[in-house]
């Protein structure tokens, strides 16, 4: 049998291990502060979501669905929410949403500037592309491990892992959108002596907005998908229900929690897509 020679073995895993441990040992103050910050945001968002009366949420989603898409959409979305409530999963749904919303906000705050940087610099794009590929294809369990080591169990490593997974489309589509702005339009702005900031804020970003909105939709959907896995490291929510159902081989519980996740995903997808559609600029 052919064996790969031992002498060529590179123990990259070991180096990463050493690196993560080094980080934890030497930068624990920084990570603690980061953890507290993220936790504060998630908890407050959850507080607000949990405080909202259930009927108000249902009416709100109905109106949004109606206004953004059509009347039947509003009815279907609110019926879906009613189902989730009737499964007894309302509060868990809000916990899940809190993590999703936090992750999406962080993803956009970091992702859009990185996307702009990539659009401006071919070098940055060349460097970022493989990293983005890695973030999207690396099995998410792999970065759950360092997330737990750095942030311990709970909501914060959940947000961290979700953000890493969901940030890629925000970056990619921002880059794509800015690069896609008509060259002549940017040239025109330049020919009038506009500064780089003026071009970015008044020409490129408004032109890129529809595509960036699509990126936001994608980011939201990916965050939703990741939140289930994040429950394995203690981020309580709909995902943890699924996890419990698996452990107990409880088909009923699994079905209900699974359906609830699907319903929320559909509602968020259709609403963000509908909003993105409104930003389209007729050419």
Partner 1 sequence: MTEKIRVENLVKVFGRNSKAVLKKLEKGITKEEILKKTGNAVGVNNVSFEVNEGEIFVIMGLSGSGKSTLIRCLNLLNKPTAGKIFFEGEDIVKYNKKQLREFRQNKMAMVFQHFGLFSHRTVEDNAAYGLEVKGAPKEERLRIARETLETVGLGGWGDKMPHQLSGGMQQRVGLARALANDPDVLLMDEPFSALDPLIRRDMQLELLDIQDKVQKTIVFITHDVNEAFKIGDRVAVMKNGKIVQVGTPEEILSNPANEYIEDFIKDIDRSKIMQAKNVMFKPSPLLFNKDGLKVAIKEMETNGISSLFVVDKGRKLQGLITIDDTINAIKEGKTLNDIIQRDYFTTDPETYVQELLPIASETKFPIAVVDQSNKLEGIIVRASVLAGLV
- Give residues in contact with partner 1 (CB under 8 A): 182, 184-185, 187-195, 198, 202-203, 206-207, 281-283
Least distance in Å: CB of 10 to partner 1? 35
Please tell me the distance from the alpha carbon of residue 169 to that of residue 211, in angstroms, as a whole number: 11
Least distance in Å: CB of 178 to partner 1? 14
Please tell me the distance from the alpha carbon of residue 232 to that of residue 244, in angstroms, as a whole number: 10
Please tell me the distance from the alpha carbon of residue 23 to that of residue 158, in angstroms, as a whole number: 19
Least distance in Å: CB of 282 to partner 1? 5
Least distance in Å: CB of 215 to partner 1? 18
Check if the beta carbon of residue 224 is closer than 8 Å to that of residue 258.
no
Please tell me the distance from the alpha carbon of residue 101 to that of residue 162, in angstroms, as a whole number: 10
Q: Of 72 and 195, which CB lies nearer to partner 1 in the complex structure?
A: 195
Check if the beta carbon of residue 41 is closer than 8 Å to that of residue 158.
no
Q: Of 194 and 243, which CB lies nearer to partner 1 in the complex structure?
A: 194
Tell me how far CA of residue 79 lies from CA of 73, 82, 95, 180, in angstroms.
10, 5, 20, 39
| Radius of gyration of the chain measured on its C-alpha atoms | 22
Least distance in Å: CB of 105 to partner 1? 25
Q: Of 167 and 176, which CB lies nearer to partner 1 in the complex structure?
A: 176
- The closest alpha carbon to 219, from 257, 262, 165, belongs to 165
Q: Of 156 and 203, which CB lies nearer to partner 1 in the complex structure?
A: 203
Least distance in Å: CB of 210 to partner 1? 10
Check if the beta carbon of residue 231 is closer than 8 Å to that of residue 161.
no
Q: Of 116 and 132, which CB lies nearer to partner 1 in the complex structure?
A: 116
Please tell me the distance from the alpha carbon of residue 187 to that of residue 194, in angstroms, as a whole number: 10
Q: Of 143 and 279, which CB lies nearer to partner 1 in the complex structure?
A: 279
């Amino acid at each position: 049998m052919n064996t790969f020679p031992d002498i060529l073995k590179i123990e990259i895993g070991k180096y990463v291990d050493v690196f993560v441990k080094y980080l934890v040992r030497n930068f624990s103050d920084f990570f603690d502060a980061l953890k507290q910050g993220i936790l504060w945001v998630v908890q407050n968002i959850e507080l607000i979501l949990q405080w909202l009366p259930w009927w108000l949420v249902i009416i709100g989603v109905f109106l949004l669905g109606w206004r953004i898409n059509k009347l039947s959409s509003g009815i279907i979305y609110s019926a879906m929410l009613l189902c989730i409530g009737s499964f007894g999963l309302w509060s868990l749904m809000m916990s899940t949403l809190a993590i999703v919303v936090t992750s999406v906000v962080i993803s956009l705050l970091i992702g859009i500037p990185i996307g702009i940087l990539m659009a401006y610099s071919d070098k940055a794009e060349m460097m970022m592309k493989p990293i983005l590929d890695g973030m999207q294809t690396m099995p998410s369990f792999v970065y759950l491990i360092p997330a737990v080591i750095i942030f311990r169990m709970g909501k914060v490593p959940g947000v961290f892992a979700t953000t890493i997974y969901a940030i890629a489309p925000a970056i990619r589509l921002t880059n794509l959108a800015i690069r896609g702005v008509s060259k002549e339009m940017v040239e025109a702005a330049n020919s009038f002596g506009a500064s780089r900031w003026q071009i970015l804020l008044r020409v490129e970003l408004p032109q890129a907005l529809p595509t960036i909105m699509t990126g936001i939709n994608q980011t939201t959907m990916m965050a939703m998908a990741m939140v289930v896995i994040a429950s394995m490291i203690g981020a309580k929510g709909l995902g943890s229900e699924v996890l419990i159902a698996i452990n107990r081989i409880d088909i009923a519980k699994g079905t209900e929690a699974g359906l609830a996740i699907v319903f929320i995903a559909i509602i968020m997808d259709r609403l963000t897509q509908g909003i993105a559609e409104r930003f389209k600029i007729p050419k």
